[in-house]
Amino acid sequence: MAKYPVVATDLLNSFSRIDEGEGKTADLIQGFVRPSDLVDIPIEELSPDNDSGEPKEDGINQEELDEFLKNLDKLNTETLKMEAEKGYSDPKSVKQRAKVVELLATVKLSPVFVNRTIKTIKMKIAGIREQERNIVNAAMRQAGVPRPSFLKLFVGSETDYELIDRLKEAHSDKADALEAVRSEVKRAQKRLAMIEKSEKMPINEFKPSTRI
């Protein structure tokens, strides 16, 4: 879960709201742990309702918490900047993002925060699936592009507005049908691009969570 850029940003924003009198630390973290104590579980296998108990603080040291937040803010800012400049999948960006994940692994996130985050991520994944289905329906079912050819051009280029043009080049016999669905495909791609922008994460990085 920590690999999603929105997690670190949301945690920092939530602590900022605590400084303004909204919420409490126990709603966000319950203490510090060793990274080796944690197990990485795919977001699709997590349930947002596993723990309905009251959040409890586990003897949080304020100085340690302040240092953690300072380091997280610095790392997250540097990582988002690098990902914006070099791309999310660039080796340097991946290495930098791993530092954020490693730091997040040192705290026990509260069930309140985890539940909210899981729900948010799953909503985004559902939104991606919906828009991908719209594109599939337009290109494959309405325009008749064969599935293997469509997937070859689509996967990894979900928000590429030249998709229809490249499909037309590959299937000149379906050019008219593809042109007829161009606006529908572009509309779905724009919605995918909005998710990319808000999550600061390319659509293809949500795979294999999403399936066509």
71: phi > 0 → left, psi -120 to 50 → alpha, else beta; which?
alpha
The yes-or-no verdict on residue 108 having pLDDT over 60 is: yes
**Which H/E stretch holds residue 130?**
helix 111-136
Query: Cβ(210)–Cβ(132) under 8 Å?
Result: yes
Per-residue confidence band for 121, with pLDDT thresholds at 50, 70 and 90: confident
Q: Which residues fall within 8 angstroms of residue 179, CB to CB, at 6 or more apart?
A: 164, 168
In order of 72, 155, 189, the CA distances from 65 in angstroms are 10, 41, 41
Is pTM beyond 0.75 here? no
| Residue 32 backbone phi and psi in degrees, to 5 | -115, 145
The yes-or-no verdict on residue 100 having pLDDT over 70 is: yes
Amino acid (1-letter code) at residue 65? L
pLDDT score at 188: 97
